[in-house]
């Protein structure tokens, strides 16, 4: 989701001091009034070992001898940067004194790694939640036992039927959350109703926030610390401009406050190595332990991260509670995708079984394998060197082709084109329900910190400007400076796509040469299958190798683009990788489906296999079977290789760590064990992903899923078993990902999210493209349109008898002499050979017949009608089915009602109204009406400042105090 830059409202960062005259009838003295940061309640020094650990900071204890690189300031004077240990000391002192956090230290067994255990008191969490506009419980949801609609629904036959189908796949009741359901609202300290639940929600206010919420709020505090590590002692008030004096420039003061290096920037300065929330401890064997005695991690490992539970629904609420919404939305999408694949897989399997069972009754296949095939000589596939061959050599190929290209292919393509859009529309409804359940409706990611890499490069250029949104003077790189890098990136991306196309042409040359070789051997009958399979395997290997190389290039190109925020950086990187993956894995399929066999003319003009002008042809049985084999090998091979790489790479790391740690004392504390796991940090994960080519980041797990979604939808007409194989792969991959998240990765920061971000747009675009590709595959690649044309033009009674002979044109052997392309060996008494096309039987031009143009017109008409009908049904469905279910919308509206009711009824609102009434009465005494009209007071200073805010901000700041 795109992050919207916004500065936290001043009333949340600052409030009027108690000595101003807001609650009295006296006039405000603007010379003594001041703004100050809201006071923070810091608890006394309790025993830190008994406090929950909200975050762990890791640092190198040996770095006190290390210095960072020297940098030049704006005056080109070289100064020495502070040591990492000094940065840590000052940062931690700030966290204690200014943020109210409680810190304690620990060290590893080898004394080389230090740990900072961070605990955030309850009152600090409340302030952070208010600034983040977090939704918190406000009112318990009372179940209405008299809800007629619900009771009627539960008694309906369809409901009972669907529930009986779902029952074997449901989770144990013990995995459901114990907390009752509550309506939630954006937290405000002005609403007293929130406070009633502090002790009632979970028995104590110390348990009011879940561990996930505590970690998120603590991370927010550490990321937005107002700490300037280049200034002097943190106790100096000049370093922390928390007082905005009257008659000062508030923008300038806010610019000082905004110097927020935060924990991420300190990591780039080597002050810390990483940070993470703690995993919950887990026992070795929990199979026979009662669920009530298990913690969340153990429950997830027992009921989710195991193949024994692969047919059960996922515990999404527990996943969200343990790892946050961003991770939970990924697994929710995968689970919903698998559920939608079930009917598609069943229909595809039925279509496949029908094809196998009816292959021997297909008349065109019988003709190819029968007398017609044995007596018909086909023209050589290339000039001079290629031999003549019999039509019956394509017998096996034609049987396989019919399995995937029969009368049910069109029906399945229509259903899958609709399925692609149904998936998107129903996912929106599912997503809306999850947004409501997870309190992420209307969530907008707030002001995002500037990327340290961007800031460092911008500082070297020495450019700054005022951010038009926040009014803060920030590092700046002009668009003019960035445009050359964008152009370079676009050029490199196009160049890499061209390399993919070169590999496709390489496989074309391989198929041509192998066809020439195998036609002279004893396996010539099986040569089409052998050539198609081996070329597809070569394509798969090339695709995987290019993927490894391209990930590294994409990362470097995105670095050059100087993105200011991490979200835009990730989006740019994802788009590059997806575009490349799209071309990398789909290019060979697009070539076979839409281009192969479309550019040749007639025999004697095929060209030599070694020449650049060689034209590849389709088999007499059509190109669809080759597309099916290519599709199967690339899709299934990619899935198998990726899963094996993920598993064995994770195991290799574990074994490597064990070998390197041999002889060292075993880690005892949980933070030591977690520190040995793989970082779940965006940058480090992308580095690992680029190195190993496996999806170790949520964004790249999405890449794998979306690429597979493209396979299932774009070319499903060529392989009806695609949904089934995708389903089987995903069942395994979800559990493998779950195992990695719980056992191999550090616990992720539980970032909030309201959707799946940019992937929603990508999936939606694919679903629309799928309509067109399926229409073209049916019309252009399959035999559906030619067979329909034959039935309507040539056949009597709708039979396909004679169809094969109708699709073959004749070529006179003597015409080879006209182009000096006579084949090496010509069978005795052979005067004509056949080739697949609709052309005149006599030369020398061999022009297309009227049948060719009739079939072409039918193909184009089918494409237009197909996509118009499908899009009409799609738009009708979008109009009839709302994105948000009615029940969820009612609950949302009710929450809004409660929120407005409590805000209007709060004591703070009542006090504000009293202040406004008092001010109005005072103003009415000052203003004396003249001649029956009300005199209007005009503050000349205010008008002047309104027209010159950029030049006189100090007057505006003073007047704002006057107005309050």
**DSSP conformation class of 536:** H
pLDDT at residue 623 in the model: 79
CA dihedral 600, 601, 605, 609 (to 10 degrees): 10
Q: Reduce the DSSP state of residue 134 to 3 states and report it.
A: coil
Average pLDDT over residues 462-480: 70
pLDDT at 864 over 90: yes
- Given pLDDT bands bounded at 50, 70 and 90, which one contains residue 349? very high
For 5-9, 616-620, 882-886, which range has the lowest pLDDT when averaged over its residues? 5-9
d(CA 502, CA 588) in angstroms, rounded, equals 11
Sign of CA dihedral 132, 281, 304, 204: negative
Distances from the Cα of 199 to the Cα of 122, 137, 204, 206, 664, angstroms: 12, 12, 4, 8, 45
Residues 211-237: pLDDT tens digits?
999 999 999 888 876 555 444 344 433
Residues 190-201: pLDDT tens digits?
887 888 788 777
pLDDT at residue 678 in the model: 81
- Altogether, the residues listed in the chain come to a count of 964
pLDDT at residue 69 in the model: 45
d(CA 504, CA 535) in angstroms, rounded, equals 10
pLDDT at residue 727 in the model: 93
Sign of CA dihedral 80, 84, 85, 88: positive
| Total-model pTM | 0.79
- Given pLDDT bands bounded at 50, 70 and 90, which one contains residue 25? very low
Average pLDDT over residues 423-448: 81
Start-to-end Cα distance in the chain = 37
d(CA 329, CA 246) in angstroms, rounded, equals 48
Query: Which residue, 592, 635, 708, 624, is CA-closest to 355?
Result: 624
- Given pLDDT bands bounded at 50, 70 and 90, which one contains residue 152? low
pLDDT at residue 564 in the model: 81
pLDDT at 246 over 60: no
- Given pLDDT bands bounded at 50, 70 and 90, which one contains residue 10? very low
The alpha helices in 438-526, defined as continuous H runs, are 452-461, 479-518
Residues 83-97: pLDDT tens digits?
888 888 888 888 888
Beta strands per DSSP E along 749-901: 808-812, 832-836
Residues 742-781: pLDDT tens digits?
988 889 888 888 888 888 888 999 999 999 999 998 888 8
Maximum average pLDDT range among 117-131, 489-503, 507-521 = 117-131
pLDDT at 572 over 60: yes
Higher pLDDT, 469 or 288: 288
Tokens 């084999």 correspond to what residue? Answer: 629
**770 backbone dihedrals φ, ψ, rounded to 5°:** -60, -35
Beta-bridged to residue 839, according to DSSP, are 848
pLDDT at residue 697 in the model: 53
pLDDT at residue 816 in the model: 78
pLDDT at residue 18 in the model: 31
pLDDT at 43 over 70: no
Distances from the Cα of 641 to the Cα of 380, 578, 579, angstroms: 38, 19, 21
d(CA 857, CA 859) in angstroms, rounded, equals 5
Higher pLDDT, 114 or 933: 114
Maximum average pLDDT range among 306-320, 334-348, 650-664, 738-752 = 334-348
d(CA 547, CA 699) in angstroms, rounded, equals 16
pLDDT at residue 261 in the model: 60
d(CA 97, CA 242) in angstroms, rounded, equals 13
pLDDT at 57 over 90: yes
Distances from the Cα of 340 to the Cα of 345, 422, 723, 734, angstroms: 9, 9, 9, 15
- Given pLDDT bands bounded at 50, 70 and 90, which one contains residue 22? very low
Average pLDDT over residues 165-169: 78
d(CA 332, CA 24) in angstroms, rounded, equals 55
For 4-18, 126-140, 435-449, 532-546, which range has the lowest pLDDT when averaged over its residues? 4-18
d(CA 514, CA 531) in angstroms, rounded, equals 7
Burial class (CB in 10 A: 0-12, 13-18, 19+), 684: middle
Mean predicted lDDT score pLDDT of the chain: 76
Burial class (CB in 10 A: 0-12, 13-18, 19+), 320: buried
For 300-304, 447-451, 540-544, which range has the lowest pLDDT when averaged over its residues? 447-451
Instruction: Identify whether the C-beta of residue 694 lies closer than 8 Å to the C-beta of residue 740.
Output: no
Tokens 């009368």 correspond to what residue? Answer: 407
Residues 687-738: pLDDT tens digits?
333 333 334 455 566 788 888 899 999 988 888 999 999 999 999 889 988 9
Residues 527-564: pLDDT tens digits?
777 888 888 888 888 888 888 788 888 888 888 888 88
Query: Which are the contacts of 918, defined by CB distance < 8 A and separation ≥ 6?
Result: 25
pLDDT at residue 353 in the model: 93
pLDDT at residue 594 in the model: 84
Instruction: Identify whether the C-beta of residue 99 lies closer than 8 Å to the C-beta of residue 237.
Output: no
pLDDT at residue 36 in the model: 31
Instruction: Identify whether the C-beta of residue 224 lies closer than 8 Å to the C-beta of residue 449.
Output: yes
Distances from the Cα of 484 to the Cα of 135, 379, 488, 493, angstroms: 44, 53, 6, 14
Tokens 């030619």 correspond to what residue? Answer: 786
**245: its two tokens:** 């004096």
pLDDT at residue 724 in the model: 93
For 424-428, 504-508, 950-954, which range has the lowest pLDDT when averaged over its residues? 950-954
pLDDT at residue 427 in the model: 93
**358: its two tokens:** 């009816």
pLDDT at residue 55 in the model: 92
- Given pLDDT bands bounded at 50, 70 and 90, which one contains residue 31? very low
d(CA 179, CA 141) in angstroms, rounded, equals 11
For 103-117, 181-195, 769-783, which range has the lowest pLDDT when averaged over its residues? 181-195
pLDDT at residue 322 in the model: 92
- Given pLDDT bands bounded at 50, 70 and 90, which one contains residue 958? very low
**What element of type H or E holds 107?**
strand 102-107
The total of other beta-carbon atoms located within 10 Å of residue 951's CB is 9
Instruction: Identify whether the C-beta of residue 603 lies closer than 8 Å to the C-beta of residue 808.
Output: no
pLDDT at 684 over 90: no
pLDDT at residue 924 in the model: 74
SS (H, E, C) 418-453: HHHHHHHHHHHHHHHHHHHHCCCCCCCCCCCCECHH
Higher pLDDT, 45 or 594: 594
pLDDT at 420 over 60: yes
Query: Which residue, 471, 469, 491, is CA-closest to 561?
Result: 491
The total of other beta-carbon atoms located within 10 Å of residue 247's CB is 11
% of the chain beyond a pLDDT of 70? 74
**441: its two tokens:** 């409706």
Average pLDDT over residues 451-475: 70
Half-sphere exposure of residue 68: CA atoms within 13 angstroms, side-chain side: 20
Average pLDDT over residues 668-678: 86
pLDDT at 435 over 80: yes
**248: its two tokens:** 């000062």
Average pLDDT over residues 158-177: 74
Distances from the Cα of 93 to the Cα of 86, 128, 226, 229, 773, angstroms: 11, 19, 12, 11, 61
For 11-25, 768-782, 866-880, which range has the lowest pLDDT when averaged over its residues? 11-25
SS (H, E, C) 708-769: HHHHHHHCHHHCCCHHHHHHHHHHHHHHHHHHHHHHCECCCCCCCCCCCCHHHHHHHHHHHH
pLDDT at 59 over 60: yes
Higher pLDDT, 377 or 681: 377
pLDDT at residue 276 in the model: 92
pLDDT at 569 over 80: yes
pLDDT at residue 488 in the model: 87
**What element of type H or E holds 36?**
strand 35-37
Q: What is the CA radius of gyration of the chain?
A: 35
d(CA 608, CA 381) in angstroms, rounded, equals 9
pLDDT at 487 over 50: yes
% of the chain beyond a pLDDT of 90? 12
């Amino acid at each position: 989701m795109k992050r919207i830059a916004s500065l936290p409202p001043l009333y949340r960062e600052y409030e009027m001091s108690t000595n101003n005259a807001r609650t009295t009838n006296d006039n405000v003295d603007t010379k003594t009034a001041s703004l100050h940061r809201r006071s923070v309640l810091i608890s006394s020094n309790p025993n830190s070992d008994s406090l929950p650990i909200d975050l762990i900071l890791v640092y190198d204890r040996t770095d006190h001898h290390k210095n960072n690189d020297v940098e030049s300031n704006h005056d080109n004077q070289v100064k020495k940067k502070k040591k990492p240990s000094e940065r840590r000391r000052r940062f931690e002192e700030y966290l204690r004194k200014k943020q109210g956090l409680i810190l304690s230290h620990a060290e590893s067994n080898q004394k080389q790694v230090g740990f900072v255990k961070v605990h955030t008191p309850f009152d600090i969490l409340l302030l952070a939640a208010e600034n983040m506009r977090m939704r918190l419980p406000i009112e318990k949801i009372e179940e209405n036992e008299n809800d007629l609609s619900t009771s009627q629904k539960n008694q309906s036959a369809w409901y009972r039927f669907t529930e009986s189908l779902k029952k074997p796949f449901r989770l144990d009741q013990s995995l459901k959350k114990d907390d009752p359901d509550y309506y939630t609202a954006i937290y405000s300290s002005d609403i007293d109703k929130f406070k009633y639940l502090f002790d009632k929600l979970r028995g104590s206010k110390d348990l009011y926030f879940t561990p996930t919420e505590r970690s998120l709020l603590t991370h927010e505090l550490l990321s937005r610390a107002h700490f300037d590590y280049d200034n002097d002692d943190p106790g100096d008030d000049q370093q922390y401009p928390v007082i905005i004096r009257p008659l000062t420039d508030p923008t300038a003061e806010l610019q000082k406050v905004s110097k927020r290096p935060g924990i991420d920037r300190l990591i780039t300065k080597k002050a810390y190595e990483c940070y993470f929330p703690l995993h919950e401890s887990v026992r070795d064997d929990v199979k026979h332990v009662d669920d009530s005695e298990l913690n969340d991690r153990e429950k997830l490992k027992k009921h989710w991260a195991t193949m024994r539970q692969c047919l059960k629904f996922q515990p999404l609420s527990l996943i969200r509670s343990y790892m946050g919404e961003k991770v939970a939305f990924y697994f929710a999408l995968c689970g919903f995708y698998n559920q939608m694949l079930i009917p598609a897989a069943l229909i595809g399997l039925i279509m496949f079984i029908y094809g196998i069972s009816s292959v021997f009754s297909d008349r065109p296949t019988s003709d190819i394998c029968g007398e017609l095939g044995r007596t018909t000589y086909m023209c050589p596939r290339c000039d001079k060197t290629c031999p003549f061959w019999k039509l019956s050599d394509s017998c096996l190929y034609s049987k396989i082709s019919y399995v995937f290209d029969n009368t049910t292919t069109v029906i399945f393509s229509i259903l899958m084109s609709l399925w692609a859009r149904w998936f998107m529309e129903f996912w929106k409804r599912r997503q809306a329900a999850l947004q409501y359940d997870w309190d992420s409706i209307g969530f907008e990611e707030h002001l995002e910190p500037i990327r340290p890499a961007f800031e460092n490069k911008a500082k070297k250029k020495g450019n700054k400007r005022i951010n038009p949104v926040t009014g803060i003077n920030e590092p700046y790189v002009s668009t003019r400076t960035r445009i050359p890098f964008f152009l370079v990136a676009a050029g490199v991306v196009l160049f890499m796509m061209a390399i993919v196309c070169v590999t496709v042409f390489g496989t074309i040359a391989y198929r041509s040469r192998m066809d020439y070789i195998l036609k002279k051997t004893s396996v010539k009958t099986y040569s089409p299958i052998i050539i198609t399979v081996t070329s597809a395997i070569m394509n798969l290997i090339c695709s995987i190798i290019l993927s490894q190389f391209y990930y590294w290039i994409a990362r470097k190109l995105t670095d050059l683009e100087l993105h200011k925020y991490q979200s835009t950086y990730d989006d740019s990187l994802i788009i590059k990788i997806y575009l490349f993956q799209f071309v990398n894995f789909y290019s060979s399929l697009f070539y076979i489906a839409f281009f192969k066999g479309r550019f040749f003319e007639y025999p004697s003009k095929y060209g030599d296999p070694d020449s650049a002008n060689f034209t590849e042809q389709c088999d007499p049985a059509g190109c669809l079977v080759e597309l099916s084999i290519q599709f199967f090998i690339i899709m299934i091979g990619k899935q198998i290789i990726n899963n094996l790489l993920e598993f064995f790479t994770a195991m290799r790391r574990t074994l490597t760590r064990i070998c390197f740690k041999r002889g060292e004392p075993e880690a005892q504390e949980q933070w030591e064990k977690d520190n040995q796991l793989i970082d779940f940090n965006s940058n480090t994960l992308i580095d690992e992903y680029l190195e190993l080519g496996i999806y170790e980041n949520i964004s790249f797990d999405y890449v794998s899923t979306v690429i597979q979604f493209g396979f299932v939808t774009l070319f499903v007409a060529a392989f009806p078993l695609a949904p089934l194989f995708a389903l089987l792969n995903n069942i395994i991959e979800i559990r493998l990902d779950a195992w990695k998240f719980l056992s191999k990765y550090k616990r992720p920061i539980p970032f909030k999210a309201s959707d799946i971000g940019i992937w929603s747009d990508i999936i939606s675009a694919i679903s629309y493209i799928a309509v067109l590709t399926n229409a073209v595959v049916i019309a252009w690649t399959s035999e559906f349109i030619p067979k329909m044309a034959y039935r309507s033009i040539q056949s009597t009674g709708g039979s396909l008898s004679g169809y094969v002979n109708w699709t073959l044109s004749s070529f006179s052997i003597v015409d080879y002499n006209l182009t000096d392309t006579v084949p090496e060996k010509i069978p005795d008494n052979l005067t004509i050979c056949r080739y697949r096309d609709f052309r005149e039987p006599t030369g020398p031009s061999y022009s297309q017949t009227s049948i060719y143009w009739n079939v072409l017109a039918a193909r184009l008409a089918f494409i237009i009608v197909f996509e118009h009908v499908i899009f009409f049904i799609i738009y009708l469905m979008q109009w009839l089915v709302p994105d948000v279910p009615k029940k969820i919308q009612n609950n949302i509206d009710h929450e809004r009602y409660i929120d407005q009711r409590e805000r209007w009824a709060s004591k703070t609102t009542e006090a504000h109204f009293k202040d406004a009434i008092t001010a109005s009465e005072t103003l009415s005494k000052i203003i004396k009406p003249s001649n029956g009209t009300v005199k209007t007071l005009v503050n000349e200073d205010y008008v002047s400042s309104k027209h010159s805010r950029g030049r006189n901000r100090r007057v505006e700041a003073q007047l704002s105090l006057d107005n309050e």
